[in-house]
Structure 1
Amino acid sequence: MSTAVVASKAWCVVVPHQPRGARVARRRLSTALAGSVSRDRLADAMAIAAELVGNAVRHAAPLPGGVIRVAWRLLTGGGVLIRVTDGGSAKSPQVRPPSIDAVDGRGLAIVSALATSWGVDRDGLGQCVWAELSS
């Protein structure tokens, strides 16, 4: 993760470990950041949040209570840091090339294309996949 992350505002929501969790996260993030970042930056942040929550639902265990934690920070300078924390999975999240006819498998490639940087932090409780968008 970047070494000098300074937040001017921060939010955290808990969403269900279900496909609708991505919609809930996208809606909350959009409401919170509207007017604080450009439309393009907001669209990128919403896409990243949806992809990360979707991946957590498909590939990872939930946190206790059957939830996923989604947090984001408006960084000094206009960037956005998004963190999605789940109960972890057997395999570490990584970009994988999908087959030409695959209907899924592009989530982290999309995150990688939109974000300035992204990564995975693990602790004893699970994992956090984060992505940073520069201003």
Structure 2
Amino acid sequence: MSDTISDTCPPTFGFRVEAESEAVSEARRKIVALVRGWDVPVSDNTLDDLELLSTELITNAVRHTDSSCAVAVRWTGERVRVEVTDVSPARPYRRHSSPEAEGGRGLLLVESLATAWGSAPDPAGKVVWFELGPSDGTPPPWSTPGKWTITTDSGSATSGYLPAWAEDDPTEVNVPLDQLPERLAGINHRNFFEGPMMPINAPDVWDGVEEDAVFEGSIDCNPYDPDPGLRVPVVNLQVCVGRWILGLDPHGLAEVTAKLRAHADFLEAKIRPALIAAREDWAAHHTD
């Protein structure tokens, strides 16, 4: 990776962390060393927070999945951004009754120290991210529209179109030449959208009922995917936690929308009156 900031190639780096205790400490040291090496304008206190929050997110990812996770570290031009992707679809949330659980003490630290943070569904599981840096009340843009470029350590460069809606810039420098195919295969232009919050039961994931989003997802484009249909923007729609409808083109999305609208009308016109009648009948005939 480059050791200094470039106006055309903002620093970014990604790596995998294995599900081993020593791997977490190695990962946090790597993250801090990367940011120091980029010579970005962040204070020593910010680097301390970076180490602490990186440790929390990575530890949660490997502890609660018993699997490796993927880490991405970026300089947005204003902030340091760390993203951790793991295989569990369960989004982090604060559990007041269990401070040692995921989303307990760790989430409190993230909320108190990070300039911004969040999580999003991913076909592989979920992404949890945080940013450290100045805050003006609005987050900085995640990408520079127009063009991405991956430059290898041999000096060759591969470029492509970076759409304005993409939330990430795959630009990278000094990539080992033998790793270029892997980097290209991993390019994903993505824009998340939210869904309504609903009370969700997931006995195989957590106990009790949790508020979670339904029918949220993302617009995705994977320009080097083996499937030509995924090389153009599609919608990946998460019906509920861990359940996806993938690869929707405009016609497919219209079909899903029509079915949801028809089902909403059915629930309102047929099921709601039937429920009211059933409750009234039950109250009239049932005795405790």
How far does residue 130 in structure 1 lie from its aligned partner after superposition?
Answer: 0.5
Residue in structure 1 matched with residue 269 of structure 2 by the alignment? none
**Inter-partner Cα distance in structure 1 for 2:97 and 2:27:** 25
**Inter-partner Cα distance in structure 2 for 1:98 and 1:128:** 24
Aligned residues between the structures = 121
Residue in structure 2 matched with residue 52 of structure 1 by the alignment? 57
Deviations 1:36-70 (A, max 9, x none): 322111111111110000111222352xxxx2111
Residue in structure 1 matched with residue 128 of structure 2 by the alignment? 129
Deviations 1:63-93 (A, max 9, x none): xxxx21111111213x11110011114x321
The answer to whether the Cα contact below 8 Å between 2:24 and 2:58 also exists between their aligned partners in 1 is yes
Alignment of 1:55-66 (within 5 A): 55-60=60-65, 62=67
| Structure 1 position 87 matched with structure 2 position 94 | no
| Structure 1 position 73 matched with structure 2 position 74 | yes
Deviations 1:87-132 (A, max 9, x none): 114x321122256xx6663011111111122111112211110111
The answer to whether the Cα contact below 8 Å between 1:97 and 1:106 also exists between their aligned partners in 2 is no
The answer to whether the Cα contact below 8 Å between 1:82 and 1:130 also exists between their aligned partners in 2 is yes
The answer to whether the Cα contact below 8 Å between 1:86 and 1:127 also exists between their aligned partners in 2 is yes
The answer to whether the Cα contact below 8 Å between 1:85 and 1:127 also exists between their aligned partners in 2 is yes
State TM-score, norm by structure 1.
0.78
**Inter-partner Cα distance in structure 1 for 2:106 and 2:64:** 12
Amino acid at match of 1:83: E
Relative to 1, partners in 2 of residues 1:112 and 1:27: Cα closer, same or farther, differing over 3 Å?
Answer: same
**Inter-partner Cα distance in structure 1 for 2:100 and 2:92:** 18
Q: Secondary structure at the match of 1:70?
A: strand
Residue in structure 1 matched with residue 22 of structure 2 by the alignment? 20
Residue in structure 1 matched with residue 12 of structure 2 by the alignment? 10
Amino acid at match of 1:21: A
Percent identity for Structure 1 against Structure 2: 34
Amino acid at match of 1:75: T
Amino acid at match of 1:110: L
Relative to 1, partners in 2 of residues 1:98 and 1:11: Cα closer, same or farther, differing over 3 Å?
Answer: farther
Give 5+ residue unaligned stretches, structure 1.
Answer: 1-6
Give 5+ residue unaligned stretches, structure 2.
Answer: 1-8, 135-288
**Inter-partner Cα distance in structure 1 for 2:21 and 2:112:** 23
How far does residue 27 in structure 1 lie from its aligned partner after superposition?
Answer: 0.9
Higher relative contact order (CA 8 A, sep 6+): 1
Instruction: Give 1 or 2 for the bigger CA radius of gyration.
Output: 2
